[in-house]
Structure 1
């Protein structure tokens, strides 16, 4: 990730430093299941199928299917079977599979339509299941039952697709390394050790995180993560060219941490990280110099890790970007040059690097069609089966940082995500290339996770997890220390992490809001929310462990949940400002949806004076919470930064302090306000209340009027 990168289309601004209970379920399931389960349909003639569950984890699996034609040559084929345990296909390669569940049909691609007599075709898919994952019992090829045998007297013949046997050393996180899709699927979910070895200062603690310990890695694995990305920035540890020698002590420390992670049976991905914007971006004007340093860097890294476990992946370059060139077409070509050079260096270094999975990024790790197509076509030309594509996704930008009125998880946010995922998956799946989403989160998390309101944030991550899972995208959570507290080894926002973790295996229900506001001075009335069932069933409403009574405390009509007036009266109690009661809506799967019942009155703002460096508005919040702020001059034009919108960026231009009873207007806001012109601020609160306030800047002095 860029140090605090924000995006609006292709706009970049100045960077700032970035400030899993499925494991137990998966292990329990795997303890009762064999890692490699195969079926041979063998009795008569026509065809033979070997169906192998090559990898399995909580709620997901990868299956490989081998089909041998024992009859006349075939040009165009379909294989049909029925899933016995309700399994569903989420992603397939070397075949198209439809429908996704029940009785399904796998159909050839254009390049593997022909199967000669005794010839074989192979395809695979990623799937989901609940409960058991029983292997299908029978198959038909172009309508003919596959009941034949192949070389039964010599099952070890190279032409015989023999089922794999389980090995005591294998586990669900160790699929065959020659199957990139199975490896990438087994890496789900992943986590980033951010702001550590990627820091541009001296040492892994220079950006505020503690030194890495084995206990930290144990906590990551215990949370359910199967892979860890360990970004590395190398520039400050390198000597002069042309050798660009990396400091031996630093490289040894980096390798020590990588080895710790590998020893814990985690997949690991390493890379060249913030070098991308420190010196690699000068490639348009210094191509030879940048290539010399890039190649020297990867030559050293490749040699250091050449004999490391195949569970170690190399990533070419983080968020590749370029400056002072002719534009995107040139930049895509330069990125392809770096990726090609990286691949050639690693492959030539020998050892496990000859077949190691190599991860190649799109330009900027973006998902725009031109960037995706540019990388996909280049990767196809390498004729290397052990390649993986990567991109990053931090959400629809206005929502991701809470600017331009993007403070709600709405249809625009959803469309941006599904479009990004579809573009990437469609381009690379067509070329049989697996995809890793190397970083995800929300850009507002660079400051803290409260930039986006909690309920809107939770809905986003539920939606994100579902769509990544159904498209077979392996995801790696960006964590610069804002998620896992690396000192206490506790998750800073357990509610958020529980939602993320749940989304790895299932959907969760939620509602239009996680807040019900009740006026302190007005009459108490019934309150309604819209339920988002997400394919689930609503099972009840609870206060703690106590079930509320449907028909008395609440009603459900279609997707509308209504708290009755008597229930609301009881829940608000003495009607003190703030949260008076917390409820949870439960569904047939996933995590419950928290609903806070809040007593409020409209906030009160007070006139004040101060300076552009320190100006705060005294505020009585009275139970309410701030959603966003608009800023306009008297003629209606937009004031402050991002002057293409009236809605300013949360935490960057303004920030509420609920314990201090103030709203701060930041120096960044006044830096782009015209001297002497009154600015009308409109504060939008989550209760629906809107209040106006006027500020005027004169030099470094500011006056504010309620």
Structure 2
């Protein structure tokens, strides 16, 4: 079955926390009194399972005296293995699994709980462990004294590279404390401790907490930050740290609200920036190292594009660095994160930041970039509706340049934001779903290869903050799986079958990503190679008889979903879809146009627009293929296509425009749009 957190097994055992045998624990733990009574409880839960793999969460509650360093050991009953672990270090081998505390979670007070998770492999059975040993002592539900006093202890992070590595994986809590008009102004609920606990339980090790300060800042010359704002940020930071999440705070939308005027109002802007960071640094200077600071978000400067903006970016980064380091306390060696201009990964943007960081001679500094993919692919414009070679090359080039400039020279990199631009859960897909999955998988694979920490941009489109559940569990399963392993795919996640047409064989190409193909499944039923499909090299052919069976009565839309399973990762879903050519009707509007549409099971791939003379029509004058959501907005459930005002305003008055809607099923439908003054009309061809 496919991995899903709907499939859960939970095992709770009483365990005893005693000292480990000296051979196991030398140098691992801080001092624990030889007379300290130790005892705890383990909650072991399989949160997702699929053929050959599973995800598990483990919680350890300390019932005895405080623990300063821990090691939890168990034996696999059926040959399972840990493939990756977070919030603990896996040091076991073979049938023995061992989870050892990290520096930030080694201390567990009486009554407190520490948690970690892992992905594992299995074959045959996936039976839960029957007993655990904590610090070498059998878990039998009683309390007692440790047999020896462990000595030594793990160090705090010695450098930025180690700390940044421990932040992976990470997420933004976007459009909340950075929202203009207040924390809930952009539609999100207030951040709660339960939200942070949810992220932690789902395997995240850190959060990026974007904060916009301007609306809560007083006038010159003091630029005093309102105490209620500072304390609200501190409350969220406290919750994160208490739940073993590293947290990074910044100046966020301030970057375009007023910081971008640095070239034109230099002294006032710089004074405000310095005042803000002076106050923030003072408030948090005694916080533990798990709190880090980011200079500002996506720095940009009015009238100073390209190389002309780099000196201003460096000036802000240096001012930020000097203020924080001089503020004392733990700020003297706190992790500080510096952005490139626009957080761009072009070489000409990377080099100035590299030179600046080198000049600081400080091993607690990291660089940050953002990456939302090759722009035409990420917004579906200019004829890039799929994750094709140019999109793949853009990612590969951006990440390799960034690695070679920074990581290869001992400077860690945080991809502070990544996703698909304009991705949401309520509107139509901007990028086709399967093509987005391929991009996500490739990005996280390359991030692992180059040792980047990635912070997905989540502004509620991934985790529903009202219910604390994922909007799309399958998508999240693929994201979390890609923290540790690759997943396979095929050349497309859809097979379109004409409703009245004769069904024939359909071939796709396997994207193995270094894995082995293990077959196709329709629910719990495995398809038969040679009868239902054939495999020749990397060509996978679905046989006509199997497709006919799967299509059933051939109602419009998805008739069946097939899983292609591989030796690791999350299965790839292929939707069997019945369709006919879409039918568009005439329409009239003013500032925009809403076209009644019978989609008949199909969906739009891209939109092309021309004037009668063949020239391009629409906001993107440089290409005939106009941008999704800007020039075309389908509503598949409502049966309409909207031609937005942004497109109508961009076309010439009185000159008919031929719009061609290209559909994924292979059809193209022409439609004529004409603007005459305050009226716009649409005519079906």
TM-score (norm: length of structure 1): 0.76
Asked if structure 2 preserves the Cα contact closer than 8 Å seen for 1:441 and 1:478, the reply is: yes
Is residue 2:160 matched to residue 1:180?
yes
Closer, same or farther: CA 208–362 of 1 in aligned 2, 3 Å: same
Is residue 2:37 matched to residue 1:58?
no
Quote the residue 2:582 is aligned against: 603
Deviation at 1:611, TM superposition (A): 2.2
* 2:378 paired residue among 381, 400, 403: 400
Asked if structure 1 preserves the Cα contact closer than 8 Å seen for 2:597 and 2:640, the reply is: yes
Structure 2 distance, partners of 1:364, 1:384, is: 23
Closer, same or farther: CA 414–355 of 1 in aligned 2, 3 Å: same
Asked if structure 1 preserves the Cα contact closer than 8 Å seen for 2:277 and 2:320, the reply is: yes
* 1:221 paired residue among 192, 200, 211: 200
Deviation at 1:25, TM superposition (A): 4.2
Is residue 2:309 matched to residue 1:331?
yes
Quote the residue 1:78 is aligned against: none
Deviation at 1:130, TM superposition (A): 8.1
3-state DSSP of counterpart to 2:616: coil
Asked if structure 2 preserves the Cα contact closer than 8 Å seen for 1:612 and 1:697, the reply is: no
Is residue 2:494 matched to residue 1:515?
yes
Structure 2 distance, partners of 1:375, 1:582, is: 48
Asked if structure 1 preserves the Cα contact closer than 8 Å seen for 2:54 and 2:121, the reply is: no
Deviation at 1:593, TM superposition (A): 0.5
Structure 2 distance, partners of 1:448, 1:702, is: 24
Structure 1 distance, partners of 2:332, 2:86, is: 33
Is residue 2:411 matched to residue 1:433?
yes
Structure 2 distance, partners of 1:165, 1:415, is: 51
3-state DSSP of counterpart to 2:423: helix
* 1:193 paired residue among 168, 173, 176: 173
Deviation at 1:610, TM superposition (A): 2.4
Structure 2 distance, partners of 1:256, 1:28, is: 24
* 1:533 paired residue among 505, 509, 512: 512
* 1:500 paired residue among 479, 490, 494: 479
Q: Which stretches in structure 2 are left out of the alignment for 5+ residues?
A: 1-46, 63-68, 73-82, 95-117, 123-149
Quote the residue 2:678 is aligned against: 700
Quote the residue 2:364 is aligned against: 386
**Aligned Cα root-mean-square deviation (Å):** 2.7
Deviation at 1:23, TM superposition (A): 11
Closer, same or farther: CA 309–254 of 1 in aligned 2, 3 Å: same
Quote the residue 2:274 is aligned against: 295
Deviation at 1:165, TM superposition (A): 6.6
Deviation sequence 1:364-413 (CA, Å, 0-9, x none)? 11101111000000000011111011111111001111111111010111
Closer, same or farther: CA 578–438 of 1 in aligned 2, 3 Å: same
* Total equivalences in the alignment: 566
Asked if structure 2 preserves the Cα contact closer than 8 Å seen for 1:60 and 1:129, the reply is: no
Structure 1 distance, partners of 2:585, 2:303, is: 49
Asked if structure 2 preserves the Cα contact closer than 8 Å seen for 1:271 and 1:314, the reply is: yes
Deviation at 1:457, TM superposition (A): 0.7
Structure 2 distance, partners of 1:660, 1:59, is: 43
3-state DSSP of counterpart to 1:409: coil
Structure 2 distance, partners of 1:184, 1:62, is: 15
Structure 1 distance, partners of 2:151, 2:310, is: 44
Asked if structure 1 preserves the Cα contact closer than 8 Å seen for 2:55 and 2:119, the reply is: no
TM-score (norm: length of structure 2): 0.79
Deviation at 1:182, TM superposition (A): 1.3
Deviation sequence 1:259-292 (CA, Å, 0-9, x none)? 1001000000000111111111111122211111
Quote the residue 2:222 is aligned against: 243
Asked if structure 2 preserves the Cα contact closer than 8 Å seen for 1:59 and 1:129, the reply is: no
Return 285-294 or 266-275, whichever deviates more.
285-294
Structure 2 distance, partners of 1:553, 1:166, is: 61
3-state DSSP of counterpart to 1:246: coil
Structure 2 distance, partners of 1:36, 1:466, is: 30
Closer, same or farther: CA 426–28 of 1 in aligned 2, 3 Å: farther
Quote the residue 1:556 is aligned against: 535
Asked if structure 1 preserves the Cα contact closer than 8 Å seen for 2:428 and 2:634, the reply is: no
Quote the residue 2:30 is aligned against: none
Quote the residue 1:459 is aligned against: 438
Is residue 2:500 matched to residue 1:524?
no
Structure 2 distance, partners of 1:361, 1:390, is: 5
Quote the residue 2:245 is aligned against: 266
Deviation at 1:353, TM superposition (A): 0.5
Structure 1 distance, partners of 2:596, 2:675, is: 18
Asked if structure 2 preserves the Cα contact closer than 8 Å seen for 1:282 and 1:322, the reply is: yes
Quote the residue 1:344 is aligned against: 322
Asked if structure 2 preserves the Cα contact closer than 8 Å seen for 1:683 and 1:690, the reply is: yes
* 1:687 paired residue among 644, 665, 679: 665
Deviation at 1:429, TM superposition (A): 2.2
Deviation at 1:609, TM superposition (A): 2.2
Is residue 2:548 matched to residue 1:569?
yes
Q: Which stretches in structure 1 are left out of the alignment for 5+ residues?
A: 1-19, 38-55, 64-83, 86-127, 133-163
Structure 1 distance, partners of 2:58, 2:324, is: 34
Q: 4+ residue runs of structure 1 moved beyond 3 angstroms?
A: 20-29, 34-37, 59-63, 128-132, 164-167, 446-449
Asked if structure 1 preserves the Cα contact closer than 8 Å seen for 2:57 and 2:201, the reply is: no
Asked if structure 2 preserves the Cα contact closer than 8 Å seen for 1:408 and 1:456, the reply is: yes
Structure 1 distance, partners of 2:84, 2:563, is: 29
Quote the residue 1:71 is aligned against: none
Alignment of 1:271-286 (within 5 A): 271-286=250-265
Quote the residue 2:649 is aligned against: 671
Is residue 2:356 matched to residue 1:356?
no
Structure 1 distance, partners of 2:410, 2:71, is: 22
Structure 2 distance, partners of 1:318, 1:448, is: 27
Closer, same or farther: CA 329–575 of 1 in aligned 2, 3 Å: closer
